[in-house]
């Protein structure tokens, strides 16, 4: 398995958002496309990532005083830059699948943005690893 490269198994057609995308739009995009990770890009450069954990954390502001404003109206304007995870762990497309798997296990995350020359070129997730295992099992049969 260690001779397989990330570039051969990553998802390269990645849906992304900007730091200005609002929380409701992020939530809807993730629901509509069944996503667990959304890379945040600014001028093609990866600046962060949003996961369901980040969304739940942002929505957990119940009981906070917003100066008379309703929580829902505040969250409707909440920008990604306010709740995204900065400095995500990334991997190169030329790294091995084994290296990607080790990073995922070591950091207890479910996916890695794939970056080349500071530009987002893909994402590799647990789903991609499952796809790899299925292909290997079919080829072995």
Which residues are CB-neighbours of 116 under 8 A, at least 6 positions away?
Answer: 92, 93
Tens digit of each residue's pLDDT (9 = 90 or more) over 90-116:
999 999 999 999 999 999 999 999 999
All domains of the chain in start order, with CATH: 6-140 (3.10.580.10)
For 10, which DSSP code? S
Does pLDDT of 68 surpass 50? no
Neighbours of 140 (CB within 10 A): 6
Contact 17, 29 (CB under 8 A): yes
User: What number is the average pLDDT over the span 57-66?
Assistant: 62
């Amino acid at each position: 398995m260690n001779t397989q490269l990330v570039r051969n198994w990553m998802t390269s057609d990645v849906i992304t958002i900007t730091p200005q995308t609002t929380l409701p739009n992020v939530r809807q995009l993730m629901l509509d496309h069944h996503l667990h990770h959304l890379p945040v890009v600014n001028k093609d450069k990866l600046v962060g990532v949003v996961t369901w954990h980040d969304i739940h954390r942002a929505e957990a502001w119940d009981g906070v005083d917003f100066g008379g404003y309703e929580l829902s109206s505040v969250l409707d304007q909440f920008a990604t830059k306010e709740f995204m995870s900065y400095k995500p762990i990334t991997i190169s497309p030329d790294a091995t699948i084994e290296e990607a798997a080790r990073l995922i296990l070591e950091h207890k995350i479910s996916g890695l943005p794939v970056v080349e020359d500071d530009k987002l070129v893909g994402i590799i997730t647990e789903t991609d690893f499952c796809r790899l295992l299925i292909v290997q099992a079919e080829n072995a049969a």
